[in-house]
């Protein structure tokens, strides 16, 4: 089995050393106060926040999942990732939800609760429950990262994958605790440059490995059984291998995921990068920059998928070899847990002397002398495990030296997402649970120490959950379609409906959030669309009924929120209080914002497709996509770019502290 060269190891070691040095340097500034620690003092420029956003989206585990679908489907894999990986919520943040949240002047999404609903008993419970549920969501996301990282590193080092993952998580924990938001953003800038360079280099390798589109289609059909691999159109029915049959109705799933993103996008924006932005204009610019930078991810992933096709064709000239190898492992380990399949095969590879008698000989008889290099690709279902394509390509299809650089890029993607998630979750635990509920008079030093403890606790729980998770696709599906869906209604309705109140949000969050946790424990195999519809029904039903059965939010609190945020929606009683000039001004802004969203979304999807079509030499399809992209770009310029406030006008001042409840 190929191992990392000394050059690869030196590159990786240097990267981690520089990361920790940045953490030490930034400790002094991050420790001034919570505003500095969690938001960088609200002085960071839009391009740094934009790159930080890109690296947060560009996570290692998500890259492995999307690459697996691109390996199975070609460019059409993009449509499955309408559920989250295509970041279709970004146009909403770019158009209006980012600037709405920035106008609050809040530190966290849970603090925003007081700004929106006041400080009565319901708002207090809502702030606490929001902080708890967002912490649970963050732990789920971190568990997903942990599981994906363990699958990734298992092919590169002769040690237990979870042990290596634990070391990497510990490094991230130390770095995040020391540096706060400053270190996270500045290191994300460096990590972003590394990731983009890796995208260009791997794209160059793959582009020259593709003979032509027709030959690539023949290869893909032979390896994956998908005759339409080079197509970019989401068919109503497409063939999928064992374990992925639910995605056969590709067009319907894409439409369903699009609906989920429209609903979810309307409630986005409660993010550190928007709370910490310097102006409304910079909220939009950083979102645009995120979209442009994240586009580099797609040529990277389709390139790895192409190289994966070539690698699998070389490793398994007959597809039945994979099924035979999986059957051998199952025969020697009849009680093998699918969640630990990768750990099991890694143990066999790294310690063949401890394997059951005859196992290695049987594997060698089927897979040949290089059985140890091929076994990681053998999935528990008897097919090539598509989630292992990315690490396998880096290990077997990239030369030494460059391999170390690509590994650093992937680890940078993992670390940037992990540190940003930990930073935001710890902010809620400290600001909205510890300080708000337990220690209101806590001094700054105590709060910073509490931030350290919170970060460590979050990572420990997430690591335990990740160790016991099954496939990363299953975990991601639950996070997106169940857990986060169960929290959608309060996030959406509080922005667009004046009658949404604190008790309604408590009811909707409790029903949807707790319901998703119960679903995971009681019915973990529930299909994605059923998870989504059930949690949406619980969430919206609880929020609407809870709001209507209780008193509305005090008028003075609502008035303050409405006049500083200036949202559109069902705000009739508050809108009636505005002057005709202000109503006309707001209506014009809202019309521009709403019309901009579909153009931004089409431009974003077209840009992702363009990069992949170019990589596989599908120039005829590229011409049609380019025409669509240019039309969408005209709409973006007309409805969004021209409506941005000028550079010398911040668009709005930061809102003052929320008005007291009456």
Q: Are 180 and 52 in contact (CB under 8 A)?
A: no
d(CA 122, CA 45): 36
Whether residue 494 is contained in a domain is answered as yes
d(CA 656, CA 104): 7
Mean pLDDT over 102-128 rounds to: 80
Asked if residue 518 and residue 589 are part of one domain, the reply reads yes
21 pLDDT higher than 70: no
Whether residue 661 is contained in a domain is answered as no
Whether residue 610 is contained in a domain is answered as yes
Listed residues 359, 383, 407: the one ending a domain: 383
Asked if residue 107 and residue 185 are part of one domain, the reply reads yes
Mean pLDDT over 602-608 rounds to: 96
Whether residue 649 is contained in a domain is answered as no
Residue 230 is predicted with a pLDDT of: 93
- Residue 508's DSSP bridge partners are none
Whether residue 118 is contained in a domain is answered as yes
Asked if residue 331 and residue 453 are part of one domain, the reply reads no
Asked if residue 370 and residue 419 are part of one domain, the reply reads no
Asked if residue 476 and residue 434 are part of one domain, the reply reads yes
Asked if residue 480 and residue 468 are part of one domain, the reply reads yes
- Residue 384's DSSP bridge partners are 378
Taking the CA atoms of residue 89, residue 93, residue 94 and residue 95 in that order, the dihedral angle to the nearest 10 degrees is 100
Residue 655 is predicted with a pLDDT of: 43
Model confidence at 462, pLDDT cuts 50, 70, 90, reads confident
Taking the CA atoms of residue 517, residue 521, residue 522 and residue 528 in that order, the dihedral angle to the nearest 10 degrees is 60
Asked if residue 613 and residue 478 are part of one domain, the reply reads yes
Whether residue 390 is contained in a domain is answered as no
| Residue 639 Cα distances to 177, 589, 590, 598, 643, angstroms | 41, 10, 10, 10, 6
Residue 607 is predicted with a pLDDT of: 96
Asked if residue 272 and residue 166 are part of one domain, the reply reads yes
Can you tell me which residue has the tokens 């708002």? 123
- pLDDT, tens digit, 9 for 90 and up, residues 172-188: 666 655 555 455 556 66
Asked if residue 212 and residue 64 are part of one domain, the reply reads yes
Can you tell me which residue has the tokens 């042990």? 163
Mean pLDDT over 537-545 rounds to: 95
**What is the count of structural domains for the chain?**
2
pLDDT above 90 as % of the chain: 36
Asked if residue 530 and residue 488 are part of one domain, the reply reads yes
- pLDDT, tens digit, 9 for 90 and up, residues 288-331: 998 998 898 899 999 999 999 999 999 999 888 999 999 999 99
Asked if residue 195 and residue 341 are part of one domain, the reply reads no
Tokens of 22: 């940045």
Can you tell me which residue has the tokens 């099924």? 323
Model confidence at 64, pLDDT cuts 50, 70, 90, reads confident
Asked if residue 352 and residue 472 are part of one domain, the reply reads no
Whether residue 392 is contained in a domain is answered as no
33 pLDDT higher than 80: no
Question: Of 6 and 353, which is predicted with more confidence?
Answer: 353
Tokens of 327: 């059957």
d(CA 427, CA 150): 27
Burial 620-649 (b: 16+ CB within 10 A, else e): ebbeebbeebeebbebbeebbeebbbeeee
Residue 327 structural domain: 317-383
Q: Are 140 and 312 in contact (CB under 8 A)?
A: no
Mean pLDDT over 598-615 rounds to: 96
Mean pLDDT over 75-98 rounds to: 91
Tokens of 90: 């970004």
CATH of the domain at 111: 1.20.1730.10
Whether residue 220 is contained in a domain is answered as yes
d(CA 489, CA 494): 8
Listed residues 383, 417, 441: the one ending a domain: 383
């Amino acid at each position: 089995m190929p191992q990392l060269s000394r050059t690869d190891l030196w590159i990786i070691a240097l990267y981690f050393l520089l990361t920790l040095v940045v953490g030490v340097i930034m400790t002094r500034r991050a420790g001034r106060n919570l505003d500095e620690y969690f938001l960088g003092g609200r002085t960071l420029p839009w391009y740094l926040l934009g790159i930080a956003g890109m690296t947060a989206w560009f996570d290692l585990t998500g890259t492995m999942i999307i690459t697996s679908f691109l390996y199975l489907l070609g460019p059409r894999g993009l449509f499955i990732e309408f559920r989250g990986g295509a970041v279709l919520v970004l146009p909403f943040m770019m158009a209006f939800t980012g600037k709405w949240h920035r106008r609050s002047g809040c530190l966290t999404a849970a603090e925003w609760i007081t700004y929106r609903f006041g400080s009565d008993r319901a708002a207090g419970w809502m702030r606490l429950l929001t902080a708890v549920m967002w912490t649970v969501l963050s732990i789920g996301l971190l568990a997903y990262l942990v599981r994906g990282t363990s699958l990734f590193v298992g092919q590169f080092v002769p040690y237990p994958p979870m042990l290596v993952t634990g070391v990497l998580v510990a490094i991230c924990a130390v770095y995040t605790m020391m540096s706060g938001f400053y270190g996270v953003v500045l290191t994300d800038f460096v990590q972003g440059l590394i990731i983009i360079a890796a995208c260009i280099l791997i794209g160059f390798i793959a582009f020259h490995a593709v003979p032509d589109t027709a030959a690539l289609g023949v290869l893909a059909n032979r390896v994956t059984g998908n005759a339409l691999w080079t197509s970019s159109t989401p068919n109503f029915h497409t063939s999928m291998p064992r374990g992925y049959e639910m995605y056969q109705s590709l067009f319907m799933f894409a439409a369903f995921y699009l609906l989920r993103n429209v609903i979810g996008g309307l409630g986005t924006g409660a993010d550190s990068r928007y709370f910490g932005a310097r102006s409304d204009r910079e909220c939009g610019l950083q979102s645009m920059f995120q979209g442009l930078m994240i586009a580099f991810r797609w040529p990277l992933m389709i390139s790895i998928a192409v190289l994966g096709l070539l690698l699998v064709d070389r490793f398994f000239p007959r597809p039945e070899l994979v099924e035979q190898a999986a059957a051998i492992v199952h025969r020697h380990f009849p009680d093998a847990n699918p969640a630990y399949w990768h750990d099991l095969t890694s143990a066999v590879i790294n310690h063949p002397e401890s394997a059951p008698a005859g196992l290695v000989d049987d594997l060698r008889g089927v897979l040949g002398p290089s059985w140890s290099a091929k076994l990681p690709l053998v999935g528990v279902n008897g097919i090539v495990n598509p989630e292992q394509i990315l690490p396998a390509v880096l290990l077997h299809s990239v030369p030494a030296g460059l391999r170390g650089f690509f590994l650093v890029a992937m680890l940078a993607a993992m670390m940037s997402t992990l540190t940003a998630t930990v930073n935001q979750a710890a902010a809620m635990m400290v600001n909205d649970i510890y300080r708000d509920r337990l220690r209101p008079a806590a001094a700054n030093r105590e709060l910073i120490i509490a931030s350290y403890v919170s970060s460590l606790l979050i990572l420990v729980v997430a690591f335990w959950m990740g160790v016991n998770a099954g496939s990363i696709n299953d975990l991601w599906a639950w996070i997106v379609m169940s857990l986060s869906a169960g929290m959608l209604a309060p996030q959406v309705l509080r922005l667009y409906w004046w009658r949404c109140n604190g008790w309604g949000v408590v009811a909707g969050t409790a029903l949807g959030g707790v319901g998703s946790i119960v679903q995971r424990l009681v019915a973990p195999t529930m299909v994605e669309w059923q998870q989504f519809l059930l949690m949406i029904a619980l969430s919206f039903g609880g929020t609407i009924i809870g709001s209507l059965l209780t008193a509305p939010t005090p008028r003075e609190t609502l008035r303050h929120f409405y006049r500083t945020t200036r949202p559109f929606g069902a705000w009739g009683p508050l809108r009636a209080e505005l002057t005709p000039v202000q109503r006309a001004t707001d209506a014009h802004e809202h019309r521009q914002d709403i019309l901009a969203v579909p153009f931004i979304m089409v431009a974003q999807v077209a840009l992702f497709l363009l990069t992949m079509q170019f990589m596989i030499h599908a120039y005829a399809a590229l011409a049609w996509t380019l025409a669509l992209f240019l039309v969408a770009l005209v709409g973006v310029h007309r409805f969004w770019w021209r409506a941005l406030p000028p550079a010398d006008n911040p668009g709005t001042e930061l809102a003052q502290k929320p008005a007291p409840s009456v």
